[in-house]
Amino acid sequence: MAASLTIRKEFCSLARILSGIPYSAPRVLGHCAGDKKWITIRCPFHSSTVFSSTLSPITVTEEPDTLFQKVTVLVKGHDRAVLDSYEYFATMAAKELGISIGKVFEPPKDMERFTLLKSVHIFKKHRVQYEMRTHYRCIELSHLTGSTARVYLEYIQRNLPESVAMQVTKTAMEKIPEHIHEPMWKDEPTEEAHKPGQ
């Protein structure tokens, strides 16, 4: 494995040098003829990239994964139809990945209105009104691990449509710290026993 790796690395450096000087290629790779020399120059590139992608590691750490009680994804947009299709896509992705979906609902839309003068100069009585509508969609997912949440959110975010924004709220669960486990009043008899000693 290591030997083949070193051979491939040499090929890569060769290929990099040769790509700058194409006319010298036939001399070095004399046994290859015609188009094959280009293929053999390209293969090391491709195989090196393939190698690097397979070598991109899956990290295994000792720390336990964060647990999320609830992950809320709030999507905002101007177009309700776009949000409908995005919600269908997100819920289908969650189902395929086996993530339990809490509830999917639509908060009421927000309309930002303002009134401006219609004319450039005078005519105060004639105005124009504009409004900007923001529609929302909320997807709540429950009981996820940190890595699942990261993968799902990255997938969702890479496929976010053009005029749509997203806000994510995560509710994490932590272990109760040990000094809170036992109530304080249980320690009192031992303290009273210590006091006369002091």
Binding-site ranges for other proteins (CB under 8 A)? 76-79, 110, 112, 118-119, 123, 126, 128, 132-134, 160-165
Taking the least distance from each CB to other proteins, the nearer of 35 and 112 is 112
Backbone angles phi, psi at 11, to 5 degrees: -60, -45
DSSP lists the bridge partners of residue 141 as 71, 101
Nearest CA to 170 among 74, 68, 100?
68
CB of 128 to other proteins, least distance (A): 7
Using a 10 angstrom Cβ sphere, with 0-12 exposed, 13-18 middle and 19 or more buried, the burial of residue 164 is middle
| Residue (50 or 165) nearer to other proteins, CB | 165
Give min distance, CB of 119 to other proteins, in A: 6
Q: What is the DSSP letter of 13?
A: H
**78/150 with CB nearer other proteins:** 78
> How many CB atoms within 10 Å of residue 136?
17
Q: Which of 23, 130 has the CB closer to other proteins?
A: 130
Q: Minimum distance between the CB of residue 105 and other proteins, rounded to whole angstroms?
A: 18
CB count in 10 Å sphere of residue 1: 4
Supply the minimum distance, in Å, between the C-beta of residue 114 and other proteins.
12
